[in-house]
Amino acid sequence: MTDVVVLTGAGISTESGIPDYRGPAGLWRADPDYQKLVTIDFYVADPAVRRRSWEFRRDSPAWDAAPNPAHRALVELERAGRLDRLITQNVDGLHRAAGTGAELLLELHGNMWGVACLSCPYRGTLREVLDRIDAGEDDPSCTACGGILKTTTVMFGESLDPDVLAEAIRSAKRCEVFVAIGTSLEVQPAASLAGLAAAAGARLVIVNAEPTPYDHAAAEVIREPIGTAVPALVERLLGATPER
């Protein structure tokens, strides 16, 4: 077995000013129609949904967000040689901004900064599409084939990248410690990684404000604010001698 694998969800970024989805102040409670903006069937079928989705990305607090102490603590875990994989459900890019190495980072749901065409191999940047909207285009289409553009995020109704998911599963099954941070552990298949790790003998640690379906399998459940809980947990992990 190797060492520590971490799974992060939206809760790790709330202290950076990015709302989560299901929490008390989450996006779905503030705007019940938000889920349409990130559901592929609604997105493809309705130009108005696409327009609103682009506007949502344009107004996202992620543009100005900075990594918080929890993101930075996980970089320290990596630098100490204790982090095997950092698996994230987030699309905000804050782990990369904090300094997490690309070779260790698995972005299960992609990221919001790239743009892809649904009909051809075209790839671009979110900034390029938003500039076209600001210049007057209502529903920017692919400049190569005229197809529908979307951010390089995995929407509801889409499948995860099979290679990324397969590596996440392998990592969960081989680790000694699996830490789930700021995730409700309700969205599959990401949520199942916690169960796979525990079943393979890993020590499961859950850091989340609300109960999760996997709390019963956890060796430790931490309800403290993530910005202070994660640095403290990393300090404890760095004080422990890894089993080899």
- Hey, which residues are catalytic here? 109
C-alpha 167/C-alpha 27 separation (Å) is 30
Looking at the chain, list the stretches that DSSP marks H as alpha helix, in order from N- to C-terminal side: 27-30, 34-37, 40-45, 47-58, 69-79, 94-98, 126-134, 162-174, 192-199, 226-239
Rounded alpha-carbon distances, angstroms, from residue 187 to 4, 136, 157: 22, 37, 12
* CA neighbours closer than 13 Å in the CB half-sphere of residue 42: 15
Please, what is the Cα angle at 171 between 103 and 199, to 5 degrees? 165
Sign of CA dihedral 164, 167, 169, 175: negative
User: Tokens 């191999």 belong to which residue?
Assistant: 121
- Residue 196 DSSP code: H
